[in-house]
Every structure is written in C-alpha cells, then in structure tokens.
Structure 1
Amino acid sequence: MLKEQFVPDTVLMYVARGAIQTYDGNQRTIFRAGEYGIAQKNRLVKYELVGSETSFEPVIFCFGESFLQAFKNKHQIEAQQNAFRDAFIRISSSPLINSFMDSIKPYYKGAMELEAEFEDIKYEELLIILLKEKPELADVLFDFRKPGKIDLEKFMVKNFTFNVNIDQFATLTGRSLSAFKRDFKEIFGESPSRWLVKKRLAEAYFLIDKKRRKPNDIYLDLGFESLSHFSVAFKKQFGQTPTQLATDNNS
C-alpha cells in the first residue's frame, strides 16, 4: 500500500527487517534490512513496503527541534545550512552505528519508543555517532529555518500528486494558509482543492488514454485515497469511468 506523508521533523530510520521504497518527487530509494536513512524535515514523501506489511520492521528516531536546539548549544555546533536536494539521505552502515542499534535492545519498546529514563541519553549518543560518521549532517539536523516563500505555481505543478492537506502545502511554500489560498486563486483561478482534483484527473486521463495504464495501478500514485473515490470523480469529470476508458482503448 502506497502511503504519503509530510515530514515535520528530522527522522532516522533503521530497517531491522524487510524493505521499503521511498519517493520524494525527485528520487526513488529502496532501504533494505540493515540499512539506514535520514528523512529531512519539511519534505513531502511517498513510501511503499516491498513485500508484506508483516515482514517490515523499522526502528525510528524522531528528532524534535527543541532537543536538537539543546544539543547544538551544549556541543557548540556550527551548521553551514547547506541544502541536501533529496528528502532521504542514506547513512552508511558502520561498526559504531551497528553497535548502537544493538545497545538499545534492552530499552526498546517499539518502532518509535525507548524506555523514558534512557531516551534522551540514547538520542544524544546517536547524534554524536551520526556527526562523527557524517559531519555534513549538521547542516540537516541543525537547520531551524522555516521554509521560505517560493514559487507557488512551480511547486504545485511538480507536487500535485502528493495527497497531503492544504495547510501543509501552505507551509512548504512559505505562506500562511490564508496567503496560500489567496495567491493560489490569483495564479490558478480557482481553489486549491478543486484545482488538485482536476489536475490529478487530467493526468489520470492521459495515463490511461495515451500510456495504456490500468486505473488500479495509478490512482494511489496520483493522490486518490481509494479506487472508488477515483472512479466517481473521474466519471463526474469525463462522463465515463476510468475502467470504461481503458476498455474502450483496448477494444
């Protein structure tokens, strides 16, 4: 099942078992058992399990801004605020980080939870290891800037398939919700919600009609939550269901 998410905080993921494929609009990356990756905050991502859901087991560390601020001040870290293009940064396996993962087992309570008494200690230890292994991560971990105001039209045309709420699109384009809606109406001539549906349906029609894609293979990729919702919206827009269009093309 394809899932989508706005990433509000920096996250480290270790794949203990199974595999997961990620996509950030630029890059597709597969993380397999024994591999590590960092998801940058304030990014849009899609992810899909490779294999069955029961075969996937992640260990996740979510770094809140207040914790990172305190760590930065304590260790007097200077960050250059250089941007990493992709939302996911692969972290090489090493004896140091592998030993750390082994060390948390007595305190491990679930994918995102350690025993409370040890949580801050282990998080700090993990940060020290990450910065030792990959010093340039300081530019990711300690960049506390909010997303700046960017080209809304360019951003939306690129990211319209991400099924996240309007508030998150506003944040990512550096605007308040009211400013986002106002600017959006000026650029596209209609509300964000209506434009998103029409844009996704137009892309769906193209993929089915010209690329011969199957409706059940594309609806999640285009930001629709269910095949039935996609079919109803498609018929309302084009007068036939996506399955009818696909059948007509193959007849």
Structure 2
Amino acid sequence: MRTTTNQVKPAILREQFIPDHLFLYLAKGNVSFFDGNEMYTYQSGDCCIARRNHLVKFILNSTAEDFEPIMFCFDEEFLHQFWQKYRNNRENFLSERAVIAVAKNELIDSFIRSVKPYYKGAMELDAAFEDIKYEELLLILLRSQPELEGIFFNFDAPQKINIEAYMNRNFRFNVGLERFALLTGRSLSAFKRDFKAAFKDSPSRWLVRKRLQEAYFLVQNQGRKPSDIYLELGFESLSHFSVAFKKEFGIVPTSLLTNT
C-alpha cells in the first residue's frame, strides 16, 4: 500500500531501514538524514529520494507543528508496472548515497500543488487518483533527472560486499542480523560465518562492544550526555545502555562526565 502523508509519525522518524524508494517533498520544516557516512539536511521547498535497501537515521530539526513533509513511497510492484508500460532505459547509478537530492523545478512544484485537492482524512491520497498521481510524479522525476532510472528500475538484490568495511560504517544502526545479512548480500548463515572470520567474534557481541566503545569516546572526549547518545548508537533504552556500559567498563557512563 502506497501512502502520501504530511502527518509526523514517530515510527517514520525512527525508521532506519528503507524498504521502498521514498520521495520526500518538504513543504515546511527542516530535517537531517544520516546514512553512516554523511549527514544530509533539507529545508522547506527541498525534495529528495531515500533509496530502497539502505539504512538511514532521520533527525527532525523542527518542531512537529512546523514540520510538513509530503511523501510518496514507490513500491516494487508499481515500479515493475511502470517499467513494462514505458520501457525506460536503465543506466547504472554510480553514487552509493542513501539519500539523493532532487533538483528544484517548476514541474515538481506544480505537481505538489496539484496533489492537494486529492488528499483525504489523515492526508492519504484518494485511492481513485493514487496510481495516476504516482505515475505523473515518476514521469516528472525521470524527465528532470534521467539518471534516476538507475535507481528506480534496479530490481537486483544487494550484492555481496566487504563485510568489515560495511559493519564498521553502520554499527550504530539498530537493525537485526537478518537485515545486515541482506544488505551485505548474504544469507544469515553466510553473514555469521563471514563476520566471525573478519572480526573473530559473533555479530551480537561485537555490535554491543563497538557501540559501547564509541559511547565511551563520545562521553569522555566530547562531553556528550548518555541520554543524548544512546539512541544514536543503537540502544533501545537508556537503562539498557547504562547497564551494558557498566558491565563492559565497570563504571556508569555519567561518571565520565564528572571526571572531565
């Protein structure tokens, strides 16, 4: 089910895995994305595409009342149908960025204005116009930036990549081992086997230790508060983080702040 919304939902802002290509137009507000390598910030009038099968953290820089995104989620079934209908060329898209900026243009601005009459309820697009408007938006995007064909029409599964480099870049993301396996182009059993060979440790133990080492550095050397970093580092609660930190280092994380 594809939905279009301008309602801020915590689940959207906390989402770290992008299962389908997501087009975002920021009608109002300011938001940042972190993909393990880079931080991208967008403000009112900007638009971008968050790519399928990528990890991204969303950081809202505006209050909920001042944040108005308009989003279109392009699922694979729709993209296959579009591909069959228009038979666009598919060139390779060279950038590995998880979030791709879309150049501002009048066609997109006009499209956003045209969509508003078809909203209903919680800003869901009227089902009678859904496919038409999705198709129209995709045609506009491809006309404006033809290279996006290499993103939208690449239906390949993630290829096997260097597990050591990938995990060192993405250990902060709180996703399951099955997801890490998928994104590194492996089955779960192959992921665990290759991980053990690369790190001489199990994925679960290594992830906790790596996140705690990063936490120690951030608290001791940068004066970051534990309450500000535990989610950033992939811990689900402050209490879980504090218990794990003390088990690893023999002290509570706040004691590092009093010693600086």
| Deviation digits for residues 124-147 of structure 1 (CA, Å, limit 9, x no counterpart) | 000111111111111111111111
For residues 184-195 of structure 1, the aligned pairs below 5 Å read: 184-195=195-206
Q: Structure 2: where are the runs of 5+ without partners?
A: 1-9
Matched with 2:172 is 161
**Aligned match for 2:241, one of 230, 233, 237:** 230
Q: Distance in 2 between matches of 1:131 and 1:110?
A: 30
The alignment status of 1:146 with 2:157, answered yes or no, reads yes
Structure 1 segments of 4+ aligned residues over 4 angstroms from their partners? none
Contact 2:18 2:53 in 1 (8 A): yes
Query: 1:205: which partner in 2?
Result: 216
Determine helix, strand or coil for the equivalent of 1:213.
Answer: coil
- The C-alpha deviation readout for 1:96-151, integer Å capped at 9, x for no partner, is 11111111112123778311111111100001111111111111111111110111
Hey, what does 2:133 align to over in structure 1? 122
Q: Does structure 2 retain, via aligned residues, the 8 Å contact 1:4–1:162? A: no
Give 1:103-114 correspondences, 5 Å limit.
Answer: 103-109=114-120, 113-114=124-125
Percent of aligned positions that are identical: 55
Bigger shift: 6-15 or 77-86? 77-86
Q: Report the equivalent of 1:10.
A: 21
Structure 2 contact 35–57 (Cα < 8 Å) conserved: yes
Which residue does the alignment assign to 1:44? Answer: 55
| CA-atom RMSD in angstroms | 1.8
Give 1:32's aligned residue. Answer: 43
Given candidates 96, 100, 109, the residue that maps to 1:85 is 96
Which amino acid letter does the alignment assign opposite residue 192 of structure 2? K
The runs of 5 or more residues in structure 1 that have no matched partner are none
Classify 1:236/1:109 alpha carbon distance in 2 versus 1 (closer, same or farther; 3 Å).
farther
Aligned residues: 249
Alignment match, 2:107: 96
| 1:109 partner amino acid | K
How far 1:55 moved relative to its partner?
2.1
Deviation for aligned residue 1:218? 2.3
| TM-score calculated relative to the size of structure 2 | 0.90
Judged with a 3 Å threshold, the aligned counterparts in structure 2 of structure 1 residues 140 and 158 are, in CA distance, closer, same or farther, namely same
Match of 1:57 in 2: 68
**Could you say if the C-alpha distance between residues 51 and 82 of structure 1 is closer, same or farther in structure 2, counting changes exceeding 3 Å?**
closer
Cα displacement (A) at 1:191: 2.2
Matching residue's letter, 2:100 = I
User: CA 1:54 to 1:232, structure 2 compared with 1: closer, same or farther past 3 Å?
Assistant: farther
What secondary structure is seen at the aligned counterpart in 1 of 2:16? strand
CA shift for structure 1 position 232:
1.2
In 2, Cα distance between the equivalents of 1:64 and 1:157? 30
Aligned ranges 1:207-222 → 2 under 5 Å: 207-222=218-233
Choose 86-95 or 235-244, whichever is displaced more. 86-95
> Which is further off, 93-102 or 122-131?
93-102
Say whether 1:66 aligns with 2:77.
yes
